[in-house]
Structure 1
Amino acid sequence: MSSVTKDTRITNELNTILNTQLANWSLLGVKLHNYHWFVKGPHFFTLHEKFEELYNTAAEYVDEIAERLLAIGGKPAATMSEYLKLATIQEAAGENSAEQMVEALIADFKALVENMKSGIEIAGEIGDDPSADLLIGMRTEVEKQSWMLSAYLGK
């Protein structure tokens, strides 16, 4: 395989990973709004505020990822139907308890991190430090939020 073909394949893989992140963060933003609106129980005020913080972060990540894709010649997914096809996480389903909401977010964050690891590796292979840096920064924050949510659950 020629280096040009290999570089094109790797660049396409990075674009796919970034679009998966874009789709996941878009879907997660919707899920977090759902949780924000429907959380109930003794921890309502804490979680209501936390979910708002997280959906604002999700919106920032969507914009950063889409702009990075455009900067490297990619095409960001930009419709809900594309997001639903590309996403590796699930929409909010039915009524969940506050604890189930937090557990679902922890699972989603783990899935996001696994995808980020692949993106960081691929970006490194092609010398795309800005894309790697973007994903490393996001990974750092997601792992921190996952730890904090686990601590909230006492786990």
Structure 2
Amino acid sequence: MKRLEVLGLNEKKVENIVNELSVLLADLQVFYSNLRGFHWNVKGHGFFVMHSKYEELYNDAAEKVDEVAERILQLGSNPESRFSAYLQSAEIKEAGVVSCSKEAVDLLLGYYKTLIARERRIIEVASDAHDDTTVSLVSDFLKEQEKTVWMLVAVSSQNCAE
């Protein structure tokens, strides 16, 4: 008996979910890499707080990467593991060296906008397929991210030191 048959999921609809999850995986991988760069390179006012926050965020992103990859496997597909492929399919782009905290926070808010939009699409596609597990997984991501966005907006009024 096929895995999707046991799960009660339609193969064609699952293909759409996997496609969306694959882009989310790519975005999360680039997001993770950018967060590492922010952690290493941001300087100035609020350094201690933001240095720790970036570490917290990249650890969280790493967990999400693993959860998304495992969900793709559970749905009978193989997750991409090549960074070159992530860069081709991700909507989030590499940031390069960012040393200004305000610039990093502004970039983060843009990344979250991209992630949240993708996750809402995944919820729609997964809901249509009656894939409650994917809906639950991604809904949990949204809950955390919306709180993080609230906090980042609260600190985004800081200006860069010359």
Return the alpha-carbon distance in structure 2 between the equivalents of residues 139 and 33 of structure 1: 21
Using the TM superposition, give the Cα deviation of residue 96 of structure 1 relative to its aligned residue in structure 2, in angstroms.
Answer: 4.2
Structure 1 outlier segments of 4+, above 6 Å:
none
Q: Which runs of 5+ in 1 are unaligned?
A: 1-6
Q: How many residues align?
A: 149
Deviations 1:95-150 (A, max 9, x none): 34110000000110011000001100111111110001111000111111111100
Q: Does 1:100 align with 2:103?
A: yes
- Please give the secondary structure, in 1, of the residue aligned with 2:113: helix
- Please give the secondary structure, in 1, of the residue aligned with 2:130: coil
Aligned match of 1:140: 143
Aligned match of 1:35: 38
Q: 1:65-76 residue pairs with structure 2 within 5 A?
A: 65-76=68-79
- Aligned pair partner of 2:53 in 41, 50, 54: 50
Return the alpha-carbon distance in structure 1 between the equivalents of residues 12 and 103 of structure 2: 39
Q: Which runs of 5+ in 2 are unaligned?
A: 1-9
Q: TM-score, normalised by structure 2?
A: 0.88
Q: Does 1:110 align with 2:113?
A: yes
Q: TM-score, normalised by structure 1?
A: 0.91
Return the alpha-carbon distance in structure 2 between the equivalents of residues 127 and 119 of structure 1: 12
Using the TM superposition, give the Cα deviation of residue 48 of structure 1 relative to its aligned residue in structure 2, in angstroms.
Answer: 0.2
Residues 73 and 79 in structure 2, CA contact (< 8 A), matched pair in contact too: yes
- Aligned pair partner of 1:149 in 147, 152, 161: 152
- Please give the secondary structure, in 2, of the residue aligned with 1:75: coil
Give aligned-pair identity as a percent.
36
Q: Which amino acid aligns with 2:152?
A: L
- Aligned pair partner of 2:83 in 80, 85, 92: 80
